[in-house]
Chains A and B, each alone.
Chain A
Amino acid sequence: MSNKGKKVAVLNRQDLTAFFTSLSKRFRIFGPSRIHRVDSLVEIASADAINFNYRNMKMSPKAFFFPQTQTLFSFDNESKDVNTSEPCQDRQRILFGLRPCDAQSIWLLDKVFVENTPSDPYYMKLRTSTRIVSLACTHPSPTCFCTSVNCGPDSEIGADVIFYELNGCYLIKTLTPEGEDVVAVANDIVKPPTEKELSEKEDIMRKAREKMKRVFDLECAQKTLDNFDAPRWARLYQKCLGCGVCTYLCPTCHCFDITDEVVQPRGRRVRTWDSCMYQLFTLHASGHNPRPTQKERMRQRIMHKFSYARKYYGHAFCVGCGRCITYCPVNVDIRQFMKKFMEEK
């Protein structure tokens, strides 16, 4: 990716505190922190609270734009009066330290909730008030496979600013006009990069990419994937318990349910995360279910990510973060699926 129009600056590590102090005057800052032994993205008061020593957060950042439970509107269950008033505008937020895969996942979610009209007003509101600052990966996890799905340890897609961690300093690349606002608060403490720093960054990222070998090829897998009635589907799903953790932790899974909740006399219509791995997801009121067993549901999940989304949105809905592999209770490994697809001709 070219550096044209993208400003690059260097921030010394000891100036990070000053940078965050200036930022916090304008923005609410959410950054990586270790809470109860889980790396999470939480609101932070100062730079000291940030834990830079993490691979990735357990939860994807999607909940910041698409909360697990969200009220669409409330109503009076007796008079049936609808209250659509929205809460007042939140302060501008910064999500700091997202891994590039997670930043790219937000760019994919934008396709569903913003570009695919009509746009989703609830998503839009949270999205437009949030800037994304990503942190390039230097040490991939054993379950990472971003380079196989058009993403990478230094992917800039979806981020407004990207930080590269060098020896004693950060190389900061501004990627969007929204990102300029973020870096602007540090104008007096950043300096232009030296040739040495630029080549150090190239070196670190080359090593990171080398550590992350490509596991499968999307184009190649698609050809066999599109064989909907292939016998392999009857084998591949058998381990799956249908718990749905893969879809809940997935940064790009965005299926939801809409239900009404009533505690007399108040009611609200809520949307909640849902999962294609559940039987009720597609069950008709008539009793008919187009995806009656886990076989069809597993096929749906994989086909949606790697075939349907490519046809509908032009991109696979996977960024290779590896959460579905790390947290699957029965070690279902989506990489192995894709490898098998490639081997079948």
Chain B
Amino acid sequence: MNNPYIPASVKIDDIIIENEAGDIRTFRLTFAYKKDERKFSFLPGQFAELSVLGAGECPIGIASSPTEKGYLLFTVKRAGVVTTQLHRAERGEIIGLRGPLGNTYPLQKMEGHNILIVGGGFAFTTLRAVIKYILEENNRKRFDDLTIIYGARTPGELIYKNELWEWEKRRDMTTYITVDRGDKDWKRREGFVPSVLKEVAPRSNETIALVCGPPIMIKFTLPVLDELGFIPESIFLSLEMRMKCGIGKCGRCNIGHKYVCKDGPVFSFRELQELPNEY
């Protein structure tokens, strides 16, 4: 019988320090065994439990797209016991990985639609996965206009910078990068994500919006989307919650009768409106 609690062994292939503060790192992981790699079939939006034996596990969104073959990316902010241990890990170390877990962004529903992506801070990880997925050569034609609005507090806190600057130059997508407060070298936008969203006003008809960011950003983004004409059924949010098992049993990540680990982490705004406001 397949045991969903046993982590697969993965090697830390590369570590990228993402921000100025140095507390956000991207880990590039490769499977130690081919059989585990073959079994790990996922889509953007899903997450996995990263495991440091002796410290424990923590749920982290998969930041790479399944179209990026041969490795997985996880962007981790140093916060608790396990993530602190992860940040101490070095290249070549073996850690554990359990997954893929949870549901995905609504890729089927998104096909043939314009896509608006609204992200803030380091909660941009699974949004990066879905962007990479859409931009993949064979996939790009299945989606219409792609618009990205991404912001962070300061220029130093933006993650995936090299890719952001590349996306800005591409002609098959529109990218708006903003920071709450720039510095002397910052030549791009300044302003909160919801204000930028209001200003650039992407069209809402035939558009699906994917939103992920800190609670304060979500709170002010949703009314702007509403003003722009987005209906709750077309807005999708990815949530996080304290989790342990990741398979809907340990009972701590529920919002009402939904488990974020199993029925989420991606919910439409319509679904969330029907659940208690406890997240």
Determine if A311 is an interface residue (Cβ-Cβ < 8 Å).
Answer: yes
* Stretch touching chain A among B155-163, B203-211, B247-255: B247-255
Identity of the chain B residue whose Cβ is nearest the Cβ of A113 in the assembled complex = B249
Is A118 engaged at the interface, CB distance under 8 Å to the other chain? yes
- Docked-complex contact A256 and B242, CB < 8 angstroms: no
Tell me which residues from 247 to 300 in chain A have a Cβ below 8 Å from any Cβ of chain B: 254-260, 262, 267, 269, 271, 274, 276, 281-286, 288, 290-291, 296, 300
Query: Is the Cβ of A260 less than 8 Å from the Cβ of B54?
Result: yes
Chain A contact residues: helix, strand, loop or mixed: mixed
**How distant is the Cα of A113 from the Cα of B250 in the complex, in angstroms?**
10
A residues less than 8 Å from B240 (CB atoms): 284
Report yes or no: B3 in contact with A254, Cβ–Cβ below 8 A: no
Q: A228-B276, A258-B57, A262-B54 are in contact. Are A276 and B252 (CB under 8 A)?
A: yes
- Contact status A276-B251, CB under 8 Å: yes
Q: Determine whether B278 belongs to the interface, using a CB cutoff of 8 Å to chain A.
A: yes
| Residue tally, chain A, CB below 8 Å to B | 48
For B83, what are the chain A residues with a Cβ–Cβ distance below 8 Å?
285
Which segment, of A46-54, A71-79, A87-95, faces chain B? A71-79
Please determine whether A72 and B252 come into contact, CB atoms closer than 8 angstroms.
no
Q: How far is the CB of A13 from chain B (nearest CB, A)?
A: 42
Q: Which of B1-59 contact A (CB under 8 A)?
A: 1-7, 9, 53-58
B130 lies within 8 A of chain A by Cβ: no
Nearest A residue to B6 via CB reads: A84
Q: Is B92 an interface residue (CB 8 A)?
A: no
Q: How far is the CA of A182 from the CA of B277 in the complex (A)?
A: 50
CB distance from A294 to the nearest CB of B (A): 14
Which of B259-279 touch A at CB < 8 Å? Answer: 276-279
Residues B53 and A75 in contact, CB atoms below 8 Å apart: yes
Chain A min CB distance to B60 (Å): 11
A157 vs B191: C-alpha distance when bound (angstroms):
61
Distance between A326 CB and nearest chain B CB, rounded to angstroms: 23
- Nearest-CB distance from B54 to chain A (Å)? 5
- Assembled-state Cα–Cα distance A112/B245 (Å): 12
> A311 CB to closest chain B CB, in angstroms?
4
Q: How long is the Cα–Cα vector from A262 to B53 in the complex, in angstroms? A: 9
B252 near A255 (CB under 8 angstroms)?
Answer: yes
The distance in angstroms between the C-alpha atoms of A282 and B252, with both chains bound, is 6
Residues of A within 8 A of B255 (CB): 290
Most buried by A among B57, B79, B249, B279: B249
Taking the complex as formed, is B153 at the interface, i.e. its CB lies under 8 A from any CB of chain A? no
Q: A107 on the interface (CB 8 Å rule)?
A: no
Contact B6 A290, beta carbon cutoff 8 Å: no
**How many residues from B make CB contacts under 8 Å with A?**
39
B250 neighbours in A (Cβ, 8 Å): 255-258, 271, 274
Complex Cα spacing A308 to B247, Å? 17
- B12 smallest CB distance to A (angstroms): 12
Do the beta carbons of B3 and A258 come within 8 Å of each other? no
Measured CB to CB, the nearest residue on chain A to B5 is A72
Nearest-neighbour CB distance to chain A for B262, whole angstroms, equals: 8
Known contacts A72-B5, A73-B5, A118-B2, A254 near B54 by CB under 8 Å: no
Is the pair B251, A255 in contact by a Cβ cutoff of 8 Å?
Answer: yes
**Is B257's beta carbon under 8 Å from chain A?**
yes
* Residue A192 lies at the interface, judged by CB distance under 8 Å to chain B: no
> A82, A124, A285: which contacts B58 (Cβ < 8 A)?
A285
- Chain B residues with Cβ below 8 Å from A281 are 242, 252
Bound state CA distance, A256 and B5, in angstroms? 13
Question: Given B54, B215, B252, which contacts A267 in the complex, CB threshold below 8 Å?
Answer: B54
Does any Cβ of B come within 8 Å of A64's Cβ? no
Complex Cα distance, B245 from A325, in Å, reads: 29
Tell me, rounded to whole Å, the shortest Cβ–Cβ distance linking B79 to chain A. Answer: 4
Find out whether the CB atom of A296 lies under 8 angstroms from the CB atom of B57. no
CB closest residue in chain B, given A307:
B257
Query: In the complex the two chains form, what is the Cα distance from A153 to B108 in whole Å?
Result: 50
Residues A116 and B251 in contact, CB atoms below 8 Å apart: no
* Nearest CB in chain A: distance from B57 CB, A: 7
User: Is there an interface contact between A259 and B56, defined as CB atoms closer than 8 Å?
Assistant: yes
B residues within 8 A CB of A282?
A: 241-242, 252
Partner of B251, one of A80, A119, A254: A254
Can you report 24 residue pairs joining A to B where beta carbons are below 8 Å apart?
Answer: A73-B6, A77-B53, A82-B6, A82-B9, A112-B249, A118-B4, A120-B249, A122-B5, A254-B249, A254-B251, A255-B251, A256-B245, A258-B244, A260-B54, A260-B55, A260-B56, A269-B56, A276-B251, A284-B241, A284-B242, A285-B79, A288-B215, A290-B255, A304-B254
B residues engaging A (CB < 8 A)?
Answer: 1-7, 9, 53-58, 79-80, 83, 94, 96, 215, 240-242, 244-245, 247-252, 254-257, 276-279
In order of increasing CB-CB distance, the 6 nearest A-B pairs are A285-B80, A255-B251, A285-B79, A308-B257, A311-B257, A228-B276
